[in-house]
Amino acid sequence: MFSLVNLSQRSQLVLSGLVVCTLNYLFQIPLQVQLVVFALGILITGIPHGAMDHLLYFKQHPDGKPVYKWIRFSLFYLGYALLYGLLWTIQIQLAILVFIGISAYHFGELDLKEILVRSSVAERLIATSYGLLFLVNYLLFRWPEVNEILSGFPGFNIQQLSFLNEWYSIKYLLISTSAIIIIMLLVCYYLVYQKPLRQLFYHLLPLAFVCFITYQLPIFLGFGFYFSAWHSMLSITEIKAALGWSDQSWVFALKKTWLTNLAAFIFIGTMFFFFYGDLNRIIAVLFMSIAVLTAPHIQVISSMLSAKTASDKT
pLDDT in tens, 111-169: 999 898 777 888 999 999 999 999 999 999 999 999 998 888 877 888 888 888 899 99
**Which residue type does 278 have?**
D
The helix-helix angle for 66-90 and 92-111 (nearest 10°) equals 130
DSSP 100-142: HHHHHHHHHHHHTTTT--S-SHHHHHHHHHHHHHHHHHHHHHT
40 Cβ partners below 8 Å, 6+ apart? none
Average the pLDDT over 194-218 and give the result: 93
pLDDT at 314 over 60: no
> SS3 letters for 191-254?
HHCCCCHHHHHHHHHHHHHHHHHHHHCCHHHHHHHHHHHHHHHHHHHHHHHHHCCCCCCHHHHH
Judge residue 25's burial from the number of C-beta atoms within 10 Å of its C-beta, 0-12 exposed, 13-18 middle, 19 or more buried.
exposed
Distance of alpha carbon 201 from alpha carbon 115, whole angstroms: 10
pLDDT in tens, 47-71: 999 999 999 999 988 888 889 999 9
pLDDT of residue 311: 62
| Contact between residue 302 and residue 53 where contact means Cβ atoms under 8 Å apart | no
Range of lowest pLDDT (18-22, 90-94, 186-190):
90-94
Nearest to 114 by CA among 46, 17, 201, 6: 201
Nearest to 232 by CA among 43, 55, 88, 91: 43
**pTM (2 decimals)?**
0.92
pLDDT of residue 141: 94
pLDDT of residue 1: 43
pLDDT at 181 over 60: yes
